[in-house]
Amino acid sequence: MNEAPLVPIRVPGRRLAIFLSGRGTNMTVVLEAARAGHLPVEPALVFSNRPRAAGLETARRFGIPTEVLSHRKFRRRTTYDGKVLEILRRHRVDLICLAGFMRVLSPVIVRAFRHRIVNVHPSLLPAFRGLDVHRKAIEYGVRWHGATVHLVDEGLDTGPILLQATVPVLPGDTPESLAARVLPAEHRILPEAIRLLVEGRVSLRGRVAVIAPEPGRRPDLR
Protein backbone atom coordinates (compact mmCIF):
# COMPACT_ATOMS: atom_id res chain seq x y z
CA MET A 1 0.00 0.00 0.00
CA ASN A 2 1.40 3.39 -1.01
CA GLU A 3 1.98 5.96 1.69
CA ALA A 4 -0.28 9.01 1.47
CA PRO A 5 1.47 12.11 0.13
CA LEU A 6 2.73 14.80 2.47
CA VAL A 7 0.63 17.94 2.01
CA PRO A 8 2.03 21.15 3.56
CA ILE A 9 -0.35 23.53 5.33
CA ARG A 10 0.12 27.12 4.28
CA VAL A 11 -1.20 30.04 6.31
CA PRO A 12 -1.35 33.10 4.02
CA GLY A 13 -0.61 35.66 6.73
CA ARG A 14 -0.24 36.20 10.45
CA ARG A 15 -3.51 37.91 11.39
CA LEU A 16 -4.97 35.82 14.20
CA ALA A 17 -8.54 35.72 15.51
CA ILE A 18 -9.23 34.22 18.92
CA PHE A 19 -12.70 32.85 19.71
CA LEU A 20 -13.83 32.54 23.34
CA SER A 21 -16.97 32.18 25.41
CA GLY A 22 -15.64 32.73 28.93
CA ARG A 23 -12.61 33.93 30.89
CA GLY A 24 -10.12 33.55 28.08
CA THR A 25 -7.11 32.32 30.07
CA ASN A 26 -5.72 30.58 27.00
CA MET A 27 -6.30 33.76 25.02
CA THR A 28 -4.28 35.71 27.57
CA VAL A 29 -1.34 33.32 27.21
CA VAL A 30 -1.41 33.70 23.42
CA LEU A 31 -1.62 37.49 23.58
CA GLU A 32 1.23 37.67 26.09
CA ALA A 33 3.41 35.45 23.90
CA ALA A 34 2.67 37.63 20.86
CA ARG A 35 3.39 40.85 22.79
CA ALA A 36 6.70 39.43 24.04
CA GLY A 37 7.75 38.51 20.50
CA HIS A 38 7.71 34.77 21.17
CA LEU A 39 4.79 34.12 18.84
CA PRO A 40 4.97 35.50 15.29
CA VAL A 41 1.32 36.52 14.91
CA GLU A 42 -0.63 39.75 14.73
CA PRO A 43 -3.67 39.47 17.02
CA ALA A 44 -6.36 40.97 14.80
CA LEU A 45 -9.60 40.09 16.58
CA VAL A 46 -11.09 38.55 19.70
CA PHE A 47 -14.58 37.23 19.01
CA SER A 48 -17.23 35.93 21.38
CA ASN A 49 -20.76 34.61 21.15
CA ARG A 50 -21.42 35.86 24.69
CA PRO A 51 -21.60 39.62 25.29
CA ARG A 52 -20.58 39.24 28.95
CA ALA A 53 -17.61 36.92 28.38
CA ALA A 54 -14.90 38.10 30.76
CA GLY A 55 -12.20 37.55 28.16
CA LEU A 56 -13.50 40.44 26.07
CA GLU A 57 -12.42 42.99 28.66
CA THR A 58 -9.01 41.35 28.88
CA ALA A 59 -8.66 41.63 25.10
CA ARG A 60 -9.58 45.32 25.23
CA ARG A 61 -6.87 45.92 27.83
CA PHE A 62 -4.42 44.42 25.36
CA GLY A 63 -5.74 46.81 22.72
CA ILE A 64 -7.15 44.03 20.53
CA PRO A 65 -10.35 44.73 18.54
CA THR A 66 -13.34 42.74 19.79
CA GLU A 67 -16.57 41.65 18.16
CA VAL A 68 -19.62 40.00 19.75
CA LEU A 69 -22.44 38.20 17.99
CA SER A 70 -24.91 36.28 20.14
CA HIS A 71 -25.97 32.96 18.67
CA ARG A 72 -29.33 33.25 20.42
CA LYS A 73 -30.62 35.55 17.69
CA PHE A 74 -30.21 32.86 15.02
CA ARG A 75 -32.30 29.76 14.45
CA ARG A 76 -29.75 28.08 12.17
CA ARG A 77 -26.11 27.48 12.97
CA THR A 78 -25.12 27.97 9.35
CA THR A 79 -26.80 31.38 9.22
CA TYR A 80 -24.99 32.44 12.37
CA ASP A 81 -21.63 31.19 11.09
CA GLY A 82 -22.21 33.03 7.82
CA LYS A 83 -22.42 36.30 9.76
CA VAL A 84 -19.30 35.34 11.74
CA LEU A 85 -17.49 34.68 8.48
CA GLU A 86 -18.34 38.21 7.34
CA ILE A 87 -16.74 39.54 10.53
CA LEU A 88 -13.60 37.47 9.95
CA ARG A 89 -13.25 38.73 6.41
CA ARG A 90 -13.76 42.31 7.51
CA HIS A 91 -10.82 41.92 9.91
CA ARG A 92 -8.72 40.13 7.23
CA VAL A 93 -8.15 37.10 9.45
CA ASP A 94 -5.69 34.42 8.33
CA LEU A 95 -5.84 31.97 11.24
CA ILE A 96 -8.37 31.16 13.97
CA CYS A 97 -7.70 29.93 17.51
CA LEU A 98 -10.59 28.50 19.53
CA ALA A 99 -9.76 29.18 23.18
CA GLY A 100 -12.74 28.05 25.20
CA PHE A 101 -15.30 28.74 22.47
CA MET A 102 -18.34 26.73 23.49
CA ARG A 103 -19.84 26.18 20.08
CA VAL A 104 -19.16 23.70 17.31
CA LEU A 105 -18.30 25.47 14.07
CA SER A 106 -20.36 24.58 11.02
CA PRO A 107 -18.81 23.75 7.63
CA VAL A 108 -19.45 27.39 6.63
CA ILE A 109 -16.39 28.48 8.63
CA VAL A 110 -14.44 25.21 8.68
CA ARG A 111 -14.30 25.03 4.89
CA ALA A 112 -13.46 28.71 4.49
CA PHE A 113 -10.51 28.26 6.88
CA ARG A 114 -9.58 24.68 6.07
CA HIS A 115 -6.61 23.59 8.23
CA ARG A 116 -6.32 27.13 9.60
CA ILE A 117 -8.41 26.68 12.76
CA VAL A 118 -6.84 25.31 15.94
CA ASN A 119 -8.66 24.23 19.07
CA VAL A 120 -7.31 23.43 22.53
CA HIS A 121 -9.19 20.60 24.24
CA PRO A 122 -8.68 19.50 27.87
CA SER A 123 -8.14 15.79 27.26
CA LEU A 124 -5.81 13.46 25.41
CA LEU A 125 -7.82 13.08 22.24
CA PRO A 126 -9.30 10.91 20.87
CA ALA A 127 -10.30 10.10 24.45
CA PHE A 128 -13.09 12.12 26.08
CA ARG A 129 -14.37 14.37 23.35
CA GLY A 130 -17.00 17.00 24.08
CA LEU A 131 -17.82 18.37 27.52
CA ASP A 132 -17.28 17.36 31.17
CA VAL A 133 -14.04 15.62 30.25
CA HIS A 134 -12.36 15.75 33.68
CA ARG A 135 -15.24 13.93 35.37
CA LYS A 136 -15.21 11.36 32.56
CA ALA A 137 -11.47 10.79 32.96
CA ILE A 138 -11.78 10.23 36.71
CA GLU A 139 -14.79 7.92 36.38
CA TYR A 140 -13.03 5.92 33.67
CA GLY A 141 -10.03 5.43 35.93
CA VAL A 142 -7.31 6.65 33.57
CA ARG A 143 -3.86 7.18 35.06
CA TRP A 144 -2.91 9.99 32.68
CA HIS A 145 -4.95 12.89 31.41
CA GLY A 146 -3.90 16.06 29.60
CA ALA A 147 -4.52 18.54 26.82
CA THR A 148 -4.57 18.45 23.03
CA VAL A 149 -4.26 21.11 20.34
CA HIS A 150 -5.77 19.94 17.08
CA LEU A 151 -6.87 21.26 13.73
CA VAL A 152 -10.63 21.72 13.49
CA ASP A 153 -12.64 19.72 10.99
CA GLU A 154 -16.39 19.13 10.63
CA GLY A 155 -16.50 16.66 13.52
CA LEU A 156 -16.49 17.15 17.29
CA ASP A 157 -12.85 17.22 18.45
CA THR A 158 -11.88 14.89 15.60
CA GLY A 159 -9.34 16.93 13.61
CA PRO A 160 -5.64 16.09 13.17
CA ILE A 161 -3.65 16.33 16.41
CA LEU A 162 -0.83 18.87 16.51
CA LEU A 163 0.47 18.71 20.08
CA GLN A 164 -0.39 16.99 23.35
CA ALA A 165 0.73 17.32 26.97
CA THR A 166 0.10 14.88 29.79
CA VAL A 167 -0.61 15.26 33.50
CA PRO A 168 -1.10 12.50 36.10
CA VAL A 169 -4.48 11.70 37.58
CA LEU A 170 -3.91 11.56 41.32
CA PRO A 171 -5.80 9.65 44.02
CA GLY A 172 -8.56 11.83 45.39
CA ASP A 173 -8.68 14.08 42.33
CA THR A 174 -11.92 15.93 41.68
CA PRO A 175 -12.92 17.35 38.30
CA GLU A 176 -11.93 20.76 39.66
CA SER A 177 -8.47 19.72 40.88
CA LEU A 178 -7.76 17.82 37.69
CA ALA A 179 -8.88 20.78 35.56
CA ALA A 180 -6.52 23.04 37.51
CA ARG A 181 -3.63 20.68 36.70
CA VAL A 182 -4.54 20.43 33.01
CA LEU A 183 -4.87 24.18 32.41
CA PRO A 184 -1.11 24.94 32.56
CA ALA A 185 -0.60 22.15 30.03
CA GLU A 186 -3.06 23.89 27.71
CA HIS A 187 -1.14 27.12 28.20
CA ARG A 188 2.13 25.45 27.19
CA ILE A 189 1.05 23.81 23.97
CA LEU A 190 -1.44 26.26 22.47
CA PRO A 191 1.02 29.06 21.57
CA GLU A 192 3.53 26.48 20.32
CA ALA A 193 0.96 24.88 17.99
CA ILE A 194 0.03 28.29 16.56
CA ARG A 195 3.71 29.03 16.00
CA LEU A 196 4.22 25.76 14.12
CA LEU A 197 1.37 26.60 11.76
CA VAL A 198 2.46 30.17 11.10
CA GLU A 199 6.03 29.05 10.46
CA GLY A 200 4.82 26.55 7.86
CA ARG A 201 6.13 23.53 9.76
CA VAL A 202 2.93 21.47 9.69
CA SER A 203 2.01 19.05 6.91
CA LEU A 204 -0.67 16.39 6.68
CA ARG A 205 -0.20 12.78 5.64
CA GLY A 206 -3.77 11.63 5.42
CA ARG A 207 -5.22 12.76 8.73
CA VAL A 208 -1.88 12.64 10.56
CA ALA A 209 -0.08 15.94 11.25
CA VAL A 210 3.65 15.82 10.57
CA ILE A 211 5.79 18.48 12.26
CA ALA A 212 9.00 19.59 10.53
CA PRO A 213 12.01 20.24 12.77
CA GLU A 214 12.96 23.80 13.52
CA PRO A 215 15.34 25.16 10.88
CA GLY A 216 18.95 24.59 11.92
CA ARG A 217 18.01 21.90 14.44
CA ARG A 218 18.42 18.19 13.76
CA PRO A 219 15.27 16.11 14.34
CA ASP A 220 15.05 14.15 17.58
CA LEU A 221 15.10 10.50 16.49
CA ARG A 222 14.67 8.99 19.93
Check: CB of residue 12 under 8 Å from CB of residue 202.
no
Count CA atoms within 13 Å of residue 128 on its CB side: 21
Provide the pLDDT for residue 66: 98
User: Angle at which helices 25-35 and 54-61 pack, to 10 degrees?
Assistant: 10
Eight-state DSSP code of residue 20: E
Can you tell me the mean pLDDT for 188-216?
Answer: 95
- 10 Å CB burial of residue 102 (0-12, 13-18, 19+) is middle
Mean pLDDT for the chain?
95
- Which among 17, 136, 27 is positioned nearest to 84, based on CA atoms? 17
Q: Is 221 a residue whose pLDDT tops 80?
A: no
pLDDT in tens, 49-95: 999 999 999 999 999 999 999 999 899 999 999 999 999 999 999 99
The fraction of the chain above a pLDDT of 90, given in percent, is 94
For residue 216, the model assigns a pLDDT of 62
pLDDT of residue 217: 59
Q: Which tops the pLDDT comparison, 219 or 207? A: 207
Q: Which pLDDT does position 222 carry in this prediction?
A: 36
* Averaged pLDDT for residues 173-185: 98
0.75 surpassed by pTM = yes
Average pLDDT of the residues in 103-107: 95
pLDDT of residue 110: 98
Residue 100 pLDDT > 90, yes or no? yes
Domains of the chain: 13-113 (3.40.50.170), 119-213 (3.40.50.170)
Cβ-Cβ contacts under 8 Å for 199 (sequence gap 6 or more): 40
pLDDT at 119 over 50: yes
Residues annotated as part of the active site = 121
Cα dihedral 117, 7, 205, 78 sign: positive
Q: How confident is the model at residue 218, as a pLDDT?
A: 55
pLDDT for 2 equals 54
- Measured in degrees and rounded to the nearest 5, phi and psi for residue 173 equal -60, 145
pLDDT band of 214, cuts 50, 70, 90 = confident
